[in-house]
């Protein structure tokens, strides 16, 4: 099968013919239709997260927003049928037995396997995945619309759920990329007043069209002053991969409010303890989502509450897509199309 393969950090992916994976007894084999290109793929390819370097498979096929059809199932599989359209998310498998799995937080399972990091992902024509952890795609949702929900969508859905965002609250979304453009919509759907912050006018225009009431360009305006002049926000969701977005977001949170850490810059982030304590600011981090979170966000997509801005590109253009993503030139999400 054709695949784009990572052989070493910071080296271009190579387009190769590789062996098609073989499904084990508990797996399904999936013919991939589309796979979203997430900024996390770029972090992995560049070796940004040094703490994770040891778990990255080599050589590796990246990609964790996979949608395709089941073409084979292992002998023990009963929950999924051949011909069904399914998604494979970041969390490829969890143990079901550790205390986090048992508490309903399988997204932080200690033994989890990560798609496109620890096992091969979706920049390829086929992928295998445990049947227990693939999610069914609602019939009314196109594969292009479903793919970004499998990481970008589920991540911001869970994060905003954790912050208990509700009608009448003020939400600021820092970074209106793949994750952020969905967060703006979920915030609006919850009845929050949304301010979107980015450094690109094109992305701010997209945020406005998706329901943001105020947009601020972090490169040209005084974001902190503007947001504080209207009382600060109940929730600041940082979906930018830039540390400077965190530095800007923290002072925008009103006392008792929440800073949601979702974007993953390579550098450490830090906040002044005196202001954290004085304002009883809550710092909450959020990691992708559980299978339940996935079903919820896919249902929101199927109901038309969330609409992703997606453009599709052939696998052969992956290196160009990653370059554009790193330069901030992609609005919404790009999904690779694996079938003609
Ligand atoms: P993206 O590149 O599509 O979007 C990032 C956006 O941030 C872009 O629109 C960019 O213009 C904007 N930006 C850059 N600098 C900024 C600044 N200083 N202020 C405001 N905006 C700025 O990326 P994405 O796919 O949406 O991913 C975003 C981040 O989220 C990445 O770090 C990714 O690894 C991380 N992520 C985390 C989780 C999780 O579970 N916590 C899940 C998925 C992705
Ligand atoms: Zn992702
Ligand atoms: Zn577990």
Give the model confidence (pLDDT) of 37-50 as tens digits.
999 999 999 999 98
Pocket of ligand 1 (CB under 6 A): 38-40, 43, 151-152, 155, 174-180, 197-200, 203, 218, 239-242, 244-245, 262-264, 286-288, 325, 328, 330
Cis omega (within 30 of 0) for bond into 59: yes
Please tell me the distance from the alpha carbon of residue 311 to that of residue 42, in angstroms, as a whole number.
Answer: 18
- Mutation probe of ligand 1 site: the residue of 179, 200, 207, 217 with most atoms within 8 A of C-beta: 179
> Ligand 1: distance of its center to the CA of 291 in Å?
23
Which protein residues have a CB closer than 5 Å to ligand 2 (ion)?
38, 40, 151
The CATH number assigned to the domain holding 217 equals: 3.40.50.720
Question: Is 94 domain-assigned?
Answer: yes
Residues 117 and 79 in one domain: yes
Residues 132 and 15 in one domain: yes
Positive or negative torsion for Cα 70, 71, 74, 78: positive
Residues 195 and 261 in one domain: yes
pLDDT at 27: 98
Question: Is 301 domain-assigned?
Answer: no
Residues 6 and 132 in one domain: yes
What interhelical angle do 178-189 and 152-162 show, nearest 10? 40
Which ligand gives the minimal distance to the CA of 174? Answer: 1
How large is the C-alpha radius of gyration of the chain? 20
Q: Which pairing describes strands 66-73 and 85-88: parallel, antiparallel, or unpaired?
A: antiparallel
Two structure tokens written together for 274? 């005196």
> Ligand 3: distance of its center to the CA of 107 in Å?
8
For residue 171, the enclosing domain spans 153-285
Please tell me the distance from the alpha carbon of residue 107 to that of residue 111, in angstroms, as a whole number.
Answer: 10
Burial class from Cβ neighbours inside 10 Å (0-12, 13-18, 19+) for residue 162 reads: middle
DSSP string, 221-289: S-HHHHHHHTT-EEEEEE--S-HHHHHHHGGGEEEEEEEEE----SS-----HHHHHHTT-EEEE--S-
263-269 mean pLDDT: 95
Spatial contact of 112 and 94, defined as CB atoms under 8 Å apart: yes
pLDDT above 80 (res 170): yes
Question: Is 322 domain-assigned?
Answer: yes
- Give φ, ψ of 216 to 5 degrees: -135, 135
Question: Is 16 domain-assigned?
Answer: yes
pLDDT at 53: 85
Residues 188 and 128 in one domain: no
pLDDT above 80 (res 340): no
pLDDT above 80 (res 196): yes
Residues 103 and 203 in one domain: no
Atom from ligand 1 closest to the CA of residue 43? 34
Residues 90 and 202 in one domain: no
The structural domain count of the chain equals 2
Question: Is 145 domain-assigned?
Answer: no
272-283 mean pLDDT: 98
Q: pLDDT exceeding 90 applies to what percent of the chain?
A: 98
Please tell me the distance from the alpha carbon of residue 293 to that of residue 24, in angstroms, as a whole number.
Answer: 27
Residues 65 and 181 in one domain: no
Spatial contact of 287 and 40, defined as CB atoms under 8 Å apart: no
pLDDT at 52: 87
Residues 181 and 68 in one domain: no
Residues 195 and 113 in one domain: no
pLDDT above 80 (res 169): yes
pLDDT at 132: 98
- Mutation probe of ligand 1 site: the residue of 64, 208, 240 with most atoms within 8 A of C-beta: 240
> Ligand 1: distance of its center to the CA of 179 in Å?
7
Question: Is 304 domain-assigned?
Answer: no
pLDDT at 277: 98
Residues 113 and 195 in one domain: no
Residues 232 and 203 in one domain: yes
Question: Is 42 domain-assigned?
Answer: yes
pLDDT above 80 (res 211): yes
pLDDT at 141: 98
Question: Is 147 domain-assigned?
Answer: no
77-90 mean pLDDT: 98
- Mutation probe of ligand 1 site: the residue of 216, 241, 327 with most atoms within 8 A of C-beta: 241
The CATH number assigned to the domain holding 57 equals: 3.90.180.10
143-170 mean pLDDT: 98
Instruction: Tell which of 270, 285, 300 closes a domain.
Output: 285
């Amino acid at each position: 099968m054709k695949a784009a393969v990572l052989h070493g950090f910071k080296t271009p992916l190579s387009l190769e013919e590789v062996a098609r994976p073989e499904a084990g007894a508990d797996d399904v084999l999936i013919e991939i239709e589309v796979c979203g290109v997430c900024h996390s793929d770029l972090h992995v390819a560049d070796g940004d997260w040094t703490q994770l370097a040891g778990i990255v498979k080599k050589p590796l096929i990246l990609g964790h927003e996979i949608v395709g059809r089941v073409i084979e199932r292992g002998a023990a599989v009963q929950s999924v049928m051949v011909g069904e359209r399914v998604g494979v998310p970041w969390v490829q498998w969890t143990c079901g037995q550790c205390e986090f799995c048992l508490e309903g937080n399988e997204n932080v399972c200690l033994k989890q396997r990560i798609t496109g990091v620890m096992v091969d992902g979706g920049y390829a024509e086929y992928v295998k995945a445990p049947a227990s952890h693939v999610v069914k795609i609602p019939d009314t949702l196109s594969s292009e619309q479903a793919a970004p929900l499998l990481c970008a969508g589920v991540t911001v859905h869970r994060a905003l759920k954790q912050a208990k965002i509700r009608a009448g609250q003020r939400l600021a979304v820092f970074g209106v990329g793949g994750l952020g453009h969905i967060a703006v919509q979920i915030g609006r759907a919850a009845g929050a007043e949304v301010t979107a912050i980015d450094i690109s006018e094109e992305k701010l225009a997209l945020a406005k069209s998706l329901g943001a009431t105020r947009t601020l360009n972090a490169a040209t305006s005084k974001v902190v002053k503007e947001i504080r002049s209207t009382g600060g926000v109940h929730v600041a969701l940082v979906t930018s991969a830039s540390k400077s977005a965190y530095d800007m977001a923290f002072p925008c949170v009103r006392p008792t409010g929440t800073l949601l850490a979702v974007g993953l810059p390579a550098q450490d982030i830090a906040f002044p303890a005196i202001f954290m304590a004085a304002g009883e600011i809550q710092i909450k981090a959020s990691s992708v989502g559980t299978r339940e979170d996935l079903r919820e966000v896919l249902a929101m997509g199927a109901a038309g509450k969330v609409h992703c801005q997606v453009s599709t590109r052939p696998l052969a253009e992956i290196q160009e897509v990653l370059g554009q993503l790193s330069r901030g030139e992609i609005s919404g999400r790009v999904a690779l199309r694996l079938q003609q």
